[in-house]
Structure 1
Amino acid sequence: MDIGLLAAFAGGALALLSPCAALLMPAFFASTVGTGPKLLLHGSIFYLGLLVVLVPLGVGAGALGTLFVVHRQAIVLVASLVLMVLGAAQALGFGFDPSRLLPSGANLHTRAASTTGLVKTFLLGAASGIAGFCAGPILGAVLTLAAAQGNTVAAGVMLAVYGAGMVVPLLLIAALWQRLGTRGRKVLRGRAFTVLGRELHSTSVITGLLIMGVGVLFWTTNGLVGAPALVPIEAQTWLQERASLLANPLLDILAVLVLTALVLFAWARRQRARGDALQDTEPTEPQR
């Protein structure tokens, strides 16, 4: 995996845990959706809402980067400085709400509050992608990396990965909400502390330091070109060879049949459980 994509995924996860709205979305999903197939369905719709907003932003940033692709050294320098500034702002608790910069962006949460079901989940996804004072510098850093790609497709993919970084931990935390307990949720929320009279937050400080670290790495590796691959070339080649073996229509049909059987099995168990629950709640006739 490319270091830029890994940074985008981590940025999405940290945006979800940002102190302004830490664990609000996982708590909402845990209380209103629950677990199982319904959670996966709403998680997919939530991700679709994220993609509708984030991918066009990424493509736009990538298109802007292509205008200056011939000035790569300048792009690397500017992007590195922007990342450093955004990282410092994040660590010190400064931020901005990107939704205010987009038409009707600030009204997405209001629209979501007036709807229900999957439409509400979709609008929450669209709003979560751009809203949040604390998460503004994170999104700005990912957009900076996307613009530095100089490629609209790669930039769009990077923002899609950023959205996935929000969805994956959201689903995991929502599914484990009851098991986490009060102590586990408190750990995930982080803690506030004071330095030189200014109140800081552990999640923001960690996020800011990571963004600044990416900025330094971006500069020292000429825009991540000289960065070592996270997965060695030999391993990538081996994985590609093994993946080609799976490109077989018979295996595809078998996978679909297995998936269908699992869904039917889960549905049958759920129906049986409901039947047993109804039998337990039916009043018994008094004996004569």
Structure 2
Amino acid sequence: MEIGLLTAFIGGTLALLSPCGALLLPAFFASTLGSGARLWLHGLLFYAGLVLVLVPLGVGAGAIGLLFSTYREPVIAIASLLLIVLGVVQVLGLGFDPARMLPGARGLQNQAQVRTGMLKTVLLGAVGGIAGFCAGPILGAVLTMAATQDSLVLSGAMLAIYGAGMVVPLLVLASVWGRLGAKGRSVLRGRTFSVFGRRLHTTSVITGVLMVVVGVAFWTTNGFVGTPALLPTSTQAWLQERSAVLAHPALDVFAIVVAAVVVLLIWARLRKRRHQPIRQEAAKAAADQEDR
């Protein structure tokens, strides 16, 4: 299961860097928000939009999978084959846009274009989670894995982690956008090349090959059940034992207070930045009055 969650996170990162819209979101965030607390606040709002759309999709896929839970072996075989097919589709650049298949998705896209401020960021997240011709096979692969989970919570969590895989590199790239330069952005965009007369893209090929590998591994490990855990059992037991110390009401209150202080500091900083130009104009006007 841990391998599946890691795969979902990597899938989100690859969806962000897909050739159809590679680096469009980091460029937008960098140009409109800059860096600092305001960028990270909007990053959280963008993630909230992603979660609002992706998690219900994951839970829905998991619910469909649970209907066939008594036929696990054929379900795993079909899911593995689908992962491999989606990987080949990705390699060949024959993607699809999931937004065309979901009711209301186009309306979300239109709203995201006309809205402003924080609501626009939330709507961009909702749209970004499902839209994209090149990212369609990746989302399809993650939903396929979510459908094979034995728990609706795990199915939803897999899509939430897929969204986190988009948001974390998005914020990092937006933060360093100005330092990347044209060469750095070109490297991230990848490049096209020809094979037997067909134009392929490096990012799509790498993503597709990884999806095929995941499909084969999914088949041979019974849906990742047979894979070794990322952490040894002894380490997991040690972490669970130590984390039990955190289950205390006083620590819960402390965490809430810290979160409230952080939110207030971010709000105060944004408010200061918003009023700074007004103060500068007032000071300039006062200086002009004195000169007269």
Give the TM-score normalised by the residue count of structure 2. 0.90
**Residue in 1 that maps onto 2:233:** 233
Letter in 2 for 1:130: I
* Offset of residue 253 of structure 1: 3.7
Distance 1:287 1:258, change over 3 A: same
Task: Output the amino acid matched with 1:148.
Answer: T
Q: Measure the CA separation in 1 of the matches of 2:122 and 2:262.
A: 27
Residue 189 of structure 1 aligns with an amino acid whose one-letter code is R
Separation (CA, whole Å) in 2 of partners of 1:266 and 1:111: 27
- Corresponding residue pairs, total: 288
What residue ranges of structure 2 are gaps of 5+ in the alignment? none
User: How far does residue 6 in structure 1 lie from its aligned partner after superposition?
Assistant: 0.6
SS at match of 1:130: coil
| CA displacement 1:127-168 (0-9 Å, x = unmatched) | 111110000000110011011114322111111111111111
Q: Say whether residues 1:159 and 2:164 are aligned partners.
A: no
User: Which amino acid in 1 is paired with 2:185?
Assistant: R
1:5-20 matched pairs, under 5 angstroms: 5-20=5-20
Equivalent-residue separation in structure 1 for 2:136 and 2:21 (angstroms): 12
Mean alpha-carbon deviation: is it higher for 255-264 or for 228-237?
255-264
What residue number does 2:280 align with? 278
- Tell me how far 1:203 sits from its aligned partner: 0.9
- Name the CA shift for 1:281/1:210 in 2 (closer, same or farther; >3 Å): farther
Q: CA contact under 8 A between 1:65 and 1:151: conserved in structure 2?
A: no
| Contact 1:63 1:150 survives alignment (8 Å) | no
Q: Secondary structure at the match of 2:129?
A: helix
- Displacement after TM superposition at 1:109 (Å): 1.9
Within a 5 Å distance, the mapping from 1:110-189 to structure 2 comes to 110-189=110-189
Which stretch of structure 1 is more off in the superposition, 253-262 or 22-31? 253-262
How far apart, in 2, do the equivalents of 1:237 and 1:32 lie? 45
The CA distance in 1 between the partners of 2:133 and 2:80, in whole Å, is 22
Letter in 2 for 1:169: P
1:78 shift after superposition: 0.4
Deviations 1:183-230 (A, max 9, x none): 221121111111121111111111101111110111111111101111
For 2:35, the aligned partner's letter is T
Partner of 1:76: 76
RMSD between aligned residues: 2.5
Task: Judge conservation of contact 1:15–1:135 (CA < 8 Å) in 2.
Answer: yes
Match of 2:50 in 1: 50
Residue 194 of structure 1 aligns to a residue whose secondary structure is strand
Seq. identity, %: 60
**Deviation at 1:108?**
2.2
Distance 2:93 2:208 in 1: 9
Contact residue 75 and residue 148 of structure 1 kept, 8 A: yes
Q: Could you tell me the TM-score, scaled by structure 1's length?
A: 0.91
Measured against aligned partners, the alpha-carbon deviations of 1:222-272 in whole angstroms (never above 9, x if no partner) come to 111101111111111111122122223333444445555566667777849
- 8 Å contact from structure 2 (residues 37, 266) kept in 1: no
